[in-house]
Amino acid sequence: MRGAVRSSAGAAKLPEGTEAIQVDAIGPHTDWSGKLDGIDTVIHLAGRVHVMKETTDDPLSAFRYVNTAGTEHLARTAAKTGVRRLLYVSTIKVNGGRTIGAPFTEEDEPAPEDPYAISKWEAEQALKRIREVTGLQTVVVRPPLAYGPGVKGNFLRLMQWVDKGIPLPLSMVRNRRSLIALDNLVDVLVRCIESPQAAGQTFLVADGEDLSTPELIRSIAKALGRRARLFPFPSLLLRLGTKLLGMEGVSNRLFGSLVVDSSKVKNLLSWGPPVSVHDGLQQTARWYLNNH
């Protein structure tokens, strides 16, 4: 087994027994020479993501360079090298930023809204074209927010708020959000590698236990051994305030719903999440308390 890394620090994080191969930044000119020789399956997770403070004047081009062109280049190289299957970890944001009524399914018309999601959808389309021309088996997995040891971004920020006891005016929020624990994501990726039925498929995956924002905060607080400091405040006013502050993305995640239907992967691949939300949050909390 090989793992592509950018530095020796990345190599140190690989599982024991994994061969580390160093590559340059992911893009349309990444040198994969010799690095895919003898490889049967590629799992592609690298991408431009978690850009908390955008510095480029053209975010879409920056995302496309890594997520779209970089993925296409890797897939074409893999096909030429003799790789049998490429598993691409995309994002539920390809479906859209929120659900109203019915949960997202694989049959929905893609509706990416931001540069990140657009670049991932374009990468999926590129993979489909490559599969049709070369026969490379491609599998696309669209997870929602993933959490677990090493979590970053907004989930880590929420844990920090709860840990510090910051009062949050969110007890009146009535939404539903799908998540996926890291162990569950890894498990479904393994199933997609092993199953012949996965070839050419797109799967939406989640824990299957959807939580409201207040429920998530209370669950995080319990896992951290803290008290959830929630108080009521009209959600409409909060949404308006965050949008006026230019935080519409944060507003959608805190107040909007995003629910995923994982029936397809469960039925086609006989998959079920091995880890509950409770256990996943406990693992995340232990990592957080040991490292912060």
Helix 70-81, helix 115-134: angle, nearest 10: 20
Terminal Cα-to-Cα distance of the chain (whole angstroms): 32
Query: Sign of the C-alpha dihedral, residues 10, 16, 20, 26?
Result: negative
For every residue of 68-135, DSSP letters joined together read: IIHHHHHHHHHHHHT--EEEEE--GGGT-S--SSSPB-TTSPP---SHHHHHHHHHHHHHHHHHHHH-
Quick check: helix, strand or coil at residue 43? strand
- CA distances to 17, 38, 266, 267, 275 from 208, in Å: 33, 37, 11, 14, 10
Q: Which residues are catalytic?
A: 116
Burial of 42 (0-12, 13-18, 19+ CB in 10 A): buried
- Of 195, 182, 216, nearest to 266 by C-alpha is 195
Pairing of strands 2-5, 145-147: unpaired
Residue 66 DSSP class: I
Quick check: helix, strand or coil at residue 39? coil
